[in-house]
Amino acid sequence: MPELPEVEVIAQGLQRLIGQSIIQQVEVLWPRSVACPEVPAFTHGLAGRHVMDVRRRGKFILFALDDGRCLLAHLRMTGGFCVFPRTTPPHAYVRVIFHLADGRDLWYVDVRKFGRLYLVDSPDEILHELGVEPLSAEFTAERLADILRRRKRAVKPLLLDQRLIAGVGNIYADEALFRAGIHPLRRAADLTMEEVRGLHAAIREVLQEAIDHRGTTLRNYRDADGETGENQFRLNVYRRQGEPCRRCGTPIERIVVGQRGTHFCPHCQPARP
Ligand SMILES: [Zn+2]
């Protein structure tokens, strides 16, 4: 599933490729890809609209439109966007086609069909529950301490909770906890302020470095130019179970935490500090 860095890279690519484009007409090939409104209102509402700006919030892509409304996309497992000349015939996984006035088509592609598009008057209709952006100035070590303090749950599921911190998913939660030397099952409230500071820095570093390396491609992820990312070669623990820790050589372990595969080094991330 694309997380913050992958969605950020896609949104930046779309801003470059189709920012300022005009949507002439929309063809919905798989109606359930459109979460709201009904398909006829969706296509009618987008026809003739200028795309003013494309950006990211959490794991959502936001297309600001010239009438003040907003097209939102959540890619879930396998969603993605790509841009082609109109002469390119769409393949079987193209779910929605946005015909642009300049003769290009923007495809919404989704192999497993879990992704959703929303056309709304205000992004807040969909995004109002999202937590703090981890790369924003508001996400300070004190803010993270506020999020973790008094919570009896393990630290890892809290990092995945989009209502607390927006955009962090399984890959970057595991990588940030490794970098900070914190076991994923440590109780959030038990972390020292020094550990919280280390985790705060680690979250920002792993996300920013992944953006700099154009995201992590495990299977389907491609950026808006159709390119794979390179961050998968830089992962320290995620899906490296049985392989030696790059820091100490101990085999990386995999456990299940809150139904999510969780990867850590038992030496670098002790269960008890
Ligand atoms: Zn280690």
C-alpha–C-alpha distance, residues 41 and 31, integer Å:
12
The residue whose two tokens read 């795309």 is 51
Do 95 and 38 share a structural domain?
yes
**Tokens matching residue 176:** 């940030």
**Tokens matching residue 177:** 């906890």
Cα 103 to its chain centre, rounded Å, is 29
Do 122 and 8 share a structural domain?
yes
Residue 134 domain flag: no
Do 83 and 110 share a structural domain?
yes
Number of other residues whose CB lies within 10 A of the CB of residue 23: 22
Residue 242 domain flag: yes
Query: Domain containing 60: what range?
Result: 4-127
For residue 169, the model assigns a pLDDT of: 96
**Tokens matching residue 7:** 């969605």
List, in sequence order, every residue forming a beta bridge with 187; answer none if it has no partner: 154
Q: How far is the CA of 123 from the centre of ligand 1 (A)?
A: 42
Do 155 and 185 share a structural domain?
yes
Do 115 and 78 share a structural domain?
yes
Cβ neighbourhood burial of 122 (10 Å; 0-12, 13-18, 19+): exposed
**Tokens matching residue 164:** 């607390």
For residue 245, the model assigns a pLDDT of: 98
Residue 133 domain flag: no
* CATH code of the domain containing 61: 3.20.190.10
For residue 150, the model assigns a pLDDT of: 84
* Residue ranges in the chain assigned as alpha helix (H): 4-18, 39-46, 124-127, 141-148, 155-160, 170-180, 193-212
Q: How far is the CA of 175 from the centre of ligand 1 (A)?
A: 12
Q: Is 242 left (phi over 0), alpha (psi -120 to 50) or beta?
A: left
Q: Is 226 left (phi over 0), alpha (psi -120 to 50) or beta?
A: left
DSSP 55-108: EEETTEEEEEETTS-EEEEE-TTTEEEEEEETTSPP-TTEEEEEEETTSEEEEE
Report field, pTM of the whole predicted structure over 0.85: yes
For residue 222, the model assigns a pLDDT of: 87
Report, as ranges of residue numbers, the positions in the chain whose pLDDT lies below 70: none
For residue 161, the model assigns a pLDDT of: 96
Do 77 and 10 share a structural domain?
yes
Q: How far is the CA of 227 from the centre of ligand 1 (A)?
A: 32
Edge-first strand listing for the sheet containing 79-85: 23-28, 94-100, 104-110, 79-85
C-alpha–C-alpha distance, residues 57 and 70, integer Å:
13
Q: How far is the CA of 271 from the centre of ligand 1 (A)?
A: 13
Do 146 and 250 share a structural domain?
yes
Q: List, by residue number, the catalytic residues.
A: 2-3, 59, 260
* CATH code of the domain containing 242: 1.10.8.50
Q: How far is the CA of 251 from the centre of ligand 1 (A)?
A: 8
Express each pLDDT in 96-108 by its tens digit.
999 999 999 999 9
C-alpha–C-alpha distance, residues 58 and 12, integer Å:
14
Which residue, 80, 96, 127, sits at the end of a domain?
127
Count: domains in the chain: 2
Residue 19 domain flag: yes
Q: Are the C-beta atoms of 263 and 243 separated by less than 8 Å? A: no
